[in-house]
């Protein structure tokens, strides 16, 4: 068997096992919308830990993280910081959200917000903004899968075919089993990519430099600017502290507010499981350490990849690893991509149907499930077309998505903790923040101090004078 054939075989076996896990997971869930979207609110600690961790750490971490360490040095450390900070609010917020979900039957983020601030227009706006943020995020996952498969098969399977192959599997189990498939495949994929990341993160510095310590000694001697915080920009200039710190803050808020992660609070079996997941979540950050080591291992390598995001497969292929190991590496990278992509596709379908359609048209359980499956395919198709476009950084594309999502934070805090908040104020603040974020994303040269556009959007203050909501209604959410 040729090297390419063996690598391809390993990839196909991995995809087959993932499909089997996803399809088997759906057998336990009910056939209701609650079962498809919220897993009958029955996830235990193991699945909650991995569905949270594997969903956050995606193709951007497995490819974009090493890419930033390789090209921008210490700038990549912002990923470590925001991952820990982003989950912290869930220790208090998660159980409160779960309780409201059980009381009112909520299965999406927007249902909670619209429950507190009744407005069909607000529901449609939230669905639209969520979809706008999800499409580039799914694009990252698909492109990441295609990059890796093309690289390890020496171009025998191009990016377009590789992305299509991986996401045909994702579509199959998400369509069949909903969030139960997402949960159990994320558990399998999370374990797999943790093992592969550490193996490669230790092996490559050892093979190229004789160890992690000697590697950094050489970087200090030859490229010291890469180890000085806050790191470099894409053009090689020093990244401003304003840009670095605001990227951390915007991303941390985004982790708290990402709708596909937010919805997982509704799946937990108990409040205690949510709190334990938050406490344990920082341990998943250990996954990033070997990933960064791989990126730094490429800094002094005599050859360079076409794009910084390709550094991980580039090093793997030039380190003369056995074909079996190369195939397993590819499977690990696919785990990172697919474990986020499936949650995004499932979340997009749930949000579009529950928040964009149902407020305007009554649908039964069966009709909702059928429509969700249609949306899964549609969103996957649009993201696939974008994934074929070259010339963007995976991390930069992710940061753009976070700019939109972090605008949800003021509205959510108002819904859960501010008795005087009103529907008009919530809608106006969300619209203003999103508009400012999009404006500065399209005009980065106008951003003061290099601040992230999402933080600039949050800086917008909107005051709308309107009658307060009924005390009993407010108390059912804030009390």
Find the mean pLDDT for residues 368-381: 88
Percent over 70 (pLDDT), the chain:
92
State yes or no: pLDDT of 118 exceeds 90: yes
Find the mean pLDDT for residues 245-267: 86
Residue 438, in any domain of the structure = no
Q: Is 24 exposed, middle or buried (0-12, 13-18, 19+ CB in 10 A)?
A: middle
Rounded distance between C-alpha atoms, residue 108 and residue 408, angstroms: 13
Instruction: Evaluate whether 256 touches 89 at the Cβ level (below 8 Å).
Output: yes
State yes or no: pLDDT of 247 exceeds 80: yes
Three-state SS string over 16-42 comes to HHHHHHHHHHCCCCCCCHHHHHHHHHC
> What DSSP assignment string belongs to 66-91?
HHHHHHHGGGGGHHHHHHHHHHTTHH
Residue 424, in any domain of the structure = no
Find the mean pLDDT for residues 220-228: 93
Q: What is the pLDDT of residue 28?
A: 67
Which residues have CB under 8 Å from 347's CB, separation 6+?
130, 134, 259, 260, 263
Taking the model in full, what pTM does it have?
Answer: 0.81
State yes or no: pLDDT of 31 exceeds 70: no
Domain count, the chain: 1
Q: Could you tell me the pLDDT band of residue 153, with boundaries at 50, 70 and 90?
A: confident
Q: How many helices (H) and strands (E) does the chain have?
A: 24, 0
State yes or no: pLDDT of 472 exceeds 60: yes
Residue 369, in any domain of the structure = yes
Q: What is the pLDDT of residue 461?
A: 60
Range of the domain at 157: 3-396
Which residues have CB under 8 Å from 205's CB, separation 6+?
211, 212, 214, 215, 293, 296, 297
Residue 364, in any domain of the structure = yes
Rounded distance between C-alpha atoms, residue 264 and residue 135, angstroms: 19
- Looking at per-residue confidence, does 375 or 336 come out higher? 375
CATH code, domain carrying 232: 1.20.1730.10
State yes or no: pLDDT of 466 exceeds 60: yes
Find the mean pLDDT for residues 337-359: 85
Residue 260, in any domain of the structure = yes
Find the mean pLDDT for residues 82-92: 88
174-220 residue pLDDT tens: 877 777 777 788 788 778 878 888 888 898 899 899 999 999 999 99
State yes or no: pLDDT of 33 exceeds 80: no
Residue 461, in any domain of the structure = no
List 268's β-bridge partners, or say none: 43
List 238's β-bridge partners, or say none: 232
State yes or no: pLDDT of 394 exceeds 60: no
Q: Which of 16, 394, 58 is nearest to 197 (CA)?
A: 58
């Amino acid at each position: 068997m040729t090297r390419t054939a063996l690598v391809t075989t390993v990839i196909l076996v991995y995809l087959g096992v993932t499909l089997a896990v996803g399809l088997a997971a759906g057998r336990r869930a009910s056939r209701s919308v609650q079962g498809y979207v919220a897993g009958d609110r029955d996830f235990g600690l193991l699945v909650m830990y991995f569905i949270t961790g594997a969903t956050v750490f995606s193709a951007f971490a497995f490819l974009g993280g090493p890419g930033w360490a390789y090209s921008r040095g210490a700038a990549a450390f912002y990923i470590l910081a925001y991952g820990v900070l982003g989950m912290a609010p869930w220790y208090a917020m998660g159980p409160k959200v779960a309780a409201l979900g059980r009381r009112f039957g909520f299965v999406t983020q927007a249902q909670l917000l619209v429950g507190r601030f009744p407005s069909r227009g607000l529901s449609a706006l939230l669905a639209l903004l969520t979809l706008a943020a999800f499409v580039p995020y799914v694009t990252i996952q698909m492109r990441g899968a295609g990059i890796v498969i093309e690289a390890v098969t020496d171009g025998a399977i191009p990016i377009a075919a590789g992305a299509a192959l991986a996401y045909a599997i994702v579509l199959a189990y998400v369509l069949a089993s909903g969030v139960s498939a997402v949960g159990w495949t994320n558990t399998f994929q999370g374990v797999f990519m943790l093992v592969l990341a550490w193996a490669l993160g230790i092996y490559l510095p050892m093979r190229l430099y004789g160890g992690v310590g000697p590697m950094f000694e050489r970087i200090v001697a030859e490229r010291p600017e890469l180890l000085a915080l806050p790191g470099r920009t894409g053009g090689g200039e020093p990244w401003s502290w304003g840009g670095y710190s605001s990227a951390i803050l915007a991303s941390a808020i985004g982790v708290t507010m990402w709708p596909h992660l937010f919805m997982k609070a509704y799946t937990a079996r108990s409040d205690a499981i949510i709190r334990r997941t938050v406490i344990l979540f920082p341990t998943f950050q250990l996954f990033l350490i070997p990933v960064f080591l791989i990126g730094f291992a490429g800094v002094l390598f005599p050859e360079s990849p076409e794009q910084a995001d390709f550094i991980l497969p580039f090093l793997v292929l030039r380190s003369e690893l056995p074909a079996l190991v190369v195939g397993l590496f590819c499977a690990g990278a696919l785990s990172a991509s697919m474990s986020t992509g499936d949650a995004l596709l499932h979340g997009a379908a749930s949000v579009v149907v529950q928040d964009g359609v149902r407020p305007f048209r009554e649908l039964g359980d069966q009709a909702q499930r059928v429509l969700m499956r249609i949306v899964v395919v549609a969103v996957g198709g649009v993201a696939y077309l974008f994934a074929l476009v070259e010339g963007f950084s995976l991390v930069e594309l992710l940061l753009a998505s976070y700019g939109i999502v972090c605008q949800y934070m003021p509205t959510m805090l108002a819904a859960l903790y501010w008795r005087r908040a009103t529907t008009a104020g919530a809608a106006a603040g969300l619209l203003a923040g999103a508009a400012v974020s999009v404006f500065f994303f399209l005009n980065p040269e106008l951003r003061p101090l290099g601040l992230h556009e999402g933080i600039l959007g949050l800086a917008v203050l909107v005051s709308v004078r309107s009658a307060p909501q009924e005390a009993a209604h407010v108390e059912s959410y804030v009390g």
